Chain A
Amino acid sequence: MSDLFTTPRLGKGVKTAYDQTRDSHVVLFPEGVLVLNETAAAVVGMCDGRTTIAQMAEKLAEDFDGVRVDDVAELVTRLIARRVVVTDG
């Protein structure tokens, strides 16, 4: 699982968009599309290469109930596995 102080950012060639048809935020990348739920969309929106996972969880807790930092880290790990998000080093 990702370290809480890593600062993920979107991978090269990865685009985010809002899709009216599915009424969802989506991530578009070379080999696919991810349809995001609200929290995932918020996390992806914070993948700017400056915000740490710990800070993301803090921010999220302002808008959503029951946010756990471990869940955020796990989500980021999954995004890394799909090469949607990268971390330096």
Chain B
Amino acid sequence: MAEPPFGLLAELTHRCPLRCGYCSNPLELVRRDAELSTAEWWDVFDQARELGVLQFHLSGGEPLARKDLPELVGHASGLGAYVNLVTSGLGLTAGRLAELAVDHVQLSVQDADPANADRIAGVKGFAHKPAAARVVKEAGLPLTVNVVLHRQNLDHLADIVALAEDMGADRLELANTQYYGWALRNQAALLPTRTQLRQAEDVVREAKSRSRMEIVYVIADYHEAHPKPCMHGWGARQLTVAPNGDVLPCPAATVIEGLGIENVKSRPLREIWHDSVSFNAFRGFDWMGEPCRGCPRREVDFGGCRCQAFQLTGNAANTDPVCSLSPHRGLVDLVLRRPAADALAPREVAR
């Protein structure tokens, strides 16, 4: 039997005041009337805690778009779990935060340059970010600033680090874009150049050596010879529940056709975690073919990303095509050679 999960990513809603072109939410956004109710989320949290979940990441979309957020947070926190709020900061006032029994706040920042940040977000939102950070600090909570990196903000990385420092962040998470959902649609405008990545690595190295912040940098996998690890393996540590109650082995898993995704309204979470076809599809190592099967790196990267394998090769059980040992690596190189675009299409608004 599989080990119990540690974390639940609860995507409470797809509604969001921002319209970031790099958003990894699926193209088909869940509408408000299809979202789980307050009581249904409570039940999901109860089941998740019972199953062994110790960390609840409340995310979206923008979780603050849920009017019942205080009740949802209160319930999760009452179960003795760690509650992490993942927010754009829009709407995060001292008054609202005071109602939320969270342990940690993750605040997204699009860029350090206000005009460019607003362009990336598709909305004038930048001005709210420093205020939101202040509110978190004044509440005495640990603050992580999250930045998704791409061609349109990588050149400002040093300023971004300085901004996070000014905001008083305890941690800074710099993650190169992963191409799912809206980000895949905008790939030509988001893919960085090698020069940008090389410079970014220098900035990160320098910042790590002197900053009091903990800095986490997630590489741009298209430009690497090996894929990024899939979580700690498929169905190993974490599960995601989408706004409509779909239970996903990974947040991007809706892209894999025929995966057999199940919903928490029709099957208990415990059964979905342990017994479902979707969670067992790529668990462990038995599903692997060559070159992963015999590769010593399989314990490190788990053969890479299943979603990426599906998106680029049409078969989710293939080696992640980012890997230099994959017979499909040419597909990634082809993408890298495509001409770049400037215009970002803002993601749609979920209603």
Contacts and interface: CB of A to CB of B under 8 A. Distances in A.
A13 B141 contact: yes
A19 B52 contact: yes
A17 interface: yes
A28 interface: yes
B82 to A, nearest CB: 4
A28 B81 contact: yes
Contacts of B214: 83
B84 A30 contact: yes
B54 A19 contact: yes
B71 interface: no
Nearest to B3: A22
B144 A26 contact: no
Contacts of A21: 4, 50-52
A12 B141 CA distance: 8
Interface string A33-71: 100000000000000000000000000000000000000
A78 interface: no
B42 interface: no
Interface residues of A, number: 15
B54 A17 contact: yes
A15 to B, nearest CB: 6
Contacts of A83: 214
B55 interface: yes
Contacts of B4: 21-22
A12 B271 CA distance: 36
Contacts of B171: 30-31
B52 A28 contact: no
Interface in B4-31: 4, 6-7
A54 to B, nearest CB: 28
Contact of B82 (A12, A15, A22): A15
Contacts of B144: 30
Contacts of B141: 13
Contacts of A13: 103-104, 141-142, 170
Contact of A28 (B50, B51, B82, B216): B82
Interface in B99-150: 103-104, 141-142, 144
A24 B39 CA distance: 29
B52 A22 contact: yes
Contacts of A26: 54
B80 interface: yes
B52 A29 contact: no
A63 to B, nearest CB: 25
A68 B51 CA distance: 36
A32 B82 CA distance: 10
B55 A33 contact: yes
Nearest to A19: B54
A53 B155 CA distance: 45
| Of listed B50, B82, B144, residue having the most chain A CB within 10 A | B82
A17 B104 contact: no
Given A15-B82, A15-B103, A17-B80, A28 B55 contact: yes
Interface of A: 12-13, 15, 17, 19, 21-22, 26, 28-33, 83
5 contacts: A17-B80, A17-B81, A21-B51, A22-B4, A31-B171
Interface of B: 4, 6-7, 50-52, 54-55, 80-82, 84, 103-104, 141-142, 144, 170-171, 214, 216
Given A13-B170, A30-B104, 15 more contacts: A13-B104, A13-B141, A15-B103, A17-B54, A17-B80, A19-B52, A21-B4, A21-B50, A21-B51, A26-B54, A28-B54, A28-B55, A30-B103, A31-B171, A33-B7
Rank and list the top 10 A-B pairs by shortest CB-CB distance, nearest first. A13-B142, A21-B52, A28-B82, A30-B104, A33-B6, A33-B54, A12-B142, A17-B80, A13-B104, A21-B4
